Structure 1
Amino acid sequence: MPLNFWLAVLLLIILALVFVIYPMLFARRSRPVVQYREQNLATYRARLAELERERDEGALDESGFESLKDELEMRLLRDVESEDTAGEASSGGRAGIVVTTLALVLALPVGAFLLYDSLGASDEVAQFRERQQMMQDGMDASDVDAMVQRLQTRLEADPDNPQGWAMLGRSYMQLERFREAAEAYGELARAIERAGDGNPASALGLRAQALFMANRGEVTAEVDNAISRAREGNPDEVNSLGLLGVEAFRNGDYREALDYWERILEIAPDHPQAESIRRGVAAAYSELGEPVPDDLLEEGGGQSGESGS
């Protein structure tokens, strides 16, 4: 009789655990992380297209466009970080439930203590993450650096994400971590190649630029290799043309430097560095002993004229 009683109690406890814990283990999440990520990316693309349209229509200058674009990318970076924090909390909670369930089945008294400890630890972790989220609005450089590092880790696990690699590259450039930026842009080029629906030339040009900065403004063999690969995909890739112009000017090949820089002004007159390029063109004409073209002076305004005098 006593044995039957305890067997009955044990059976009832197991049934209760099944009915209580089963929905927690196998219930579907109402809003998957993947869906949330896709919505964030769609919102980002829509807003970026709107900014580009305003720039093309003249409602927004290039400086304002770049500033708003950087702000938009940082906002997306924060949203992705928030989404992954929520996903990690959910996955960690489910794993804890599985472990606790097994412990309860094997040894109910011990399992009760384990369950208590596990739930208490989960509450502490949740509170800690909430404090992190509240501090995001006042992030300093170390916070941004840590966030970027977590994005790097996430992309290593999910490399087929061109938008993520582009964001990572720009973030590293802003942090002046040029070697890491070059690696990110290299991964961006590979992601584009794997997708098969784009030209990696711009990514390779950005990689060349980052390597140029990492090597203290020297066109090394790896910089030259990145430039060559970029121009194989697009002979007019502007970052590569700019670097080639700099190297030609340093070597005293002023006519060649003019060819590169004037090509940039021809195909990308609204380039963010157009004013600096015009000053370089004016300096090259000055070295050649030739007058600066009037159209260059008119487009560049007073600063270009001063550079050429």
Structure 2
Amino acid sequence: MTIALMVVLALAAVVWMTRPLWRAHLSNAGARQSYNVAAYRQRVADIDADLALNTLEDEAAQQLREEAAARLLSDTTTVDAASSDAESVQPRAWILALVLVTFVAGVAGVGYFRSDSRQISGWIDLARKDPEAANGLVVSSMLQRLENRLKSEPDDAEGWAMLGRSYFTLGRHAEAAQAYAKANALTAGSPDPDWLASEGEARAFQQQGDMSGAPAALFAAALKVDPGYPKALWYAGLAAAHAEQYGAALDAWLKLRDQDLPDDFRQILEQRLPELAKLAARELPQRTAQAAPGGTSLHLSVDIDPALNAPTDGSATLLLFVRRPQGGPPLAAVRQPFTGPIEVVLDDSNAMIQGNNLSSADQWQVVARVTRGGGVQAQSGDLEGHLALSRDDAATPQRVLIDQRVP
């Protein structure tokens, strides 16, 4: 379908380009003959006008008419000869047109088969039949181009890092490690923590999850460059835990816990921290969130009555939200795995609806709920605590005690 369309477009282009060749002998001859006839008629009219004004004798007028007619005949013969000449030239014009057709089609074909057009057309056809296979071909083609470019530009550190990411995404971990190693070697004077951690990650996968040796050393090197780099902290914690250095693992993950993390990742981290603290024979410290600058904030300490025997292994969810005393949608809310007492700072950044935040009210009702269901509505067996606050209370930390079981 694509090739047929190209042929049609090429022919249309050639027809338009050669239009003067096949129209010239018709248009030029016809136009010249029409002009000669009009000139003859104008000449005869001028002779008759002179004769009527007595500026010309009858005999002279007749002679002039005969000369005009002879000139018209002569011009007509010339036009016919020109038409005949054009007809004789016509085969040569069509030969030229044929050459143009061949040339244009050849250029279009070479351009099509040597450029990306043919390849892209193939991808489109394959995508209709097998989208996953087509995506694989696109990725492979892009990877091949990047590999070829790095052969001619081997000092491109960014290019090697990009190649490493591509290899890792494709599961080619050994090649990913090599590509990142080249990127890190080129930037040894100003190391990039992401590239160091990514090389360590690729080598750990290459070693079937074994993080000893080179992977652990690379994570440590990344943390020397940036002590708070999240990927390096995560993998450094894993490496330390695998080496049964649970205290070092806990330290790394506590630093990670204090950062702004995606909810899903934070849930995984919060679930694993209690177990890691037990292995390290240490008490898990409470996490303190930082208040956002400006607006109203509430400093809350969430505690629970030991008599309720609440699970603290992260299997239950803590829902903490603030609403107006009369009810309505929450003004602020947080959700996280419950691992025991915690300190939280709620502010306008925790609003669920823009403009409906803590600063929009002067009195609040705080609800802390531990639930296994995780839903917004309280369920039988959930553990809850309530606290009424006013704006004057926002200046000092407040304790919310979970001391009830929902019937």
**Greater strand share, 1 or 2?**
2
Instruction: Give the TM-score normalised by the residue count of structure 1.
Output: 0.49
Which one has the largest radius of gyration?
Answer: 2
Instruction: Give the TM-score normalised by the residue count of structure 2.
Output: 0.38
